[in-house]
Amino acid sequence: MVASIPISKRSAGPNDGVRSSRPAQVASVRKAIELLGSFTPQTPCWALSDLARHLQIPKSTAHNLLQTLKDFDFVQQDEQAKVYRLGARALEIGLTFARGSELLSHARAVMNRLAEQTGETVKFGVLSNQQVLIVAAVESLRQLHTRGDLGTRWPLHSSSLGKAILSALPWEQAARILGATGMPRFTRTTLQTLEEAEREMKQIRSRGYALDRQENEPGVCCVAAPVVDPLHGTVAAISVSGPSARMRDAQLSELGRQVAAAGLAISNFSDKGL
């Protein structure tokens, strides 16, 4: 896939545009969260000056935030390379989330079966900060396959996971998100307008799955279905992706049926008392 999106000052967050109505929001805490969100699979290490520039804050402020986070082992400093990376405490919290989510635990079993059935890469993503966050993946064993992209973030409008998630939301909410984040074009087939997005959401709800025909990355196709956990307020999606050469229209239709069944199996599990 192309251009994943880190959480940063440049990303539209769930509170963007409503800060005045949230007087209890603490600026330093917000900035520390933005700082932690700058560490991504694409950029796992930061030099102090680069991080300050990225966050558009004074170098002294970035240093103070890093030192505080370092004291709690959320970041570590490589004295020799003069860079910072995430610390063990960040991993601890991530593992706590993964182990504490019964929905994710069940999703993994469904993902393994789907990967066996299709022979392609299977991913599970959740709605996070108006983006898709990949929280689990099973990579295909084929020599030519798509990446798992675990821990990365993707736009909602161009990925099948994102479109499946949008289809599970009321259109008014989906439109607000797309209006806030924008709809950048990655390929010639990427959705460009809210009108196009609304028509596609209706199609997804009708057939039960979303399609990405090289909309997020040339040469890659993807099929996804929504997963909703109403009890815990989770909106997620499961997908199968692979090279476009293997995923023709006939295959996409069959994969859509399989992915829709997988999404329903996970959603039904959450309805049984999780």
Q: Are strands 234-243 and 220-229 parallel, antiparallel or unpaired?
A: antiparallel
Q: What is the C-alpha to C-alpha distance for residues 47 and 172, in angstroms, rounded to an integer?
A: 41
Q: What is the C-alpha to C-alpha distance for residues 52 and 185, in angstroms, rounded to an integer?
A: 28
Q: Give per-residue pLDDT as tens, 227-274.
A: 987 655 678 999 999 999 899 888 899 999 999 999 999 988 755 543
CB atoms within 10 A of CB 164: 33
HSE-CB of 167 using CA atoms within 13 angstroms: 27
What residues have CB less than 8 Å from 41, skipping those under 6 apart?
4, 149, 150, 151, 152
Contact 139, 148 (CB under 8 A): yes
Domain ranges for the chain, please list them.
Answer: 19-92, 101-270
**CA 194 from chain center: how many Å?**
21
Using 50, 70 and 90 to split pLDDT, how confident is the model at 25? low
Q: What is the CATH number of domain 19-92?
A: 1.10.10.10
Q: What is the CATH number of domain 101-270?
A: 3.30.450.40
- pLDDT, residue 12, reads 37
On the question of a common fold for 19-92 and 101-270, the answer reads: no
Is the pTM higher than 0.95?
Answer: no
Least confident residue range of 159-163, 209-213, 221-225, 229-233: 229-233
- Amino acid at residue number 141: L
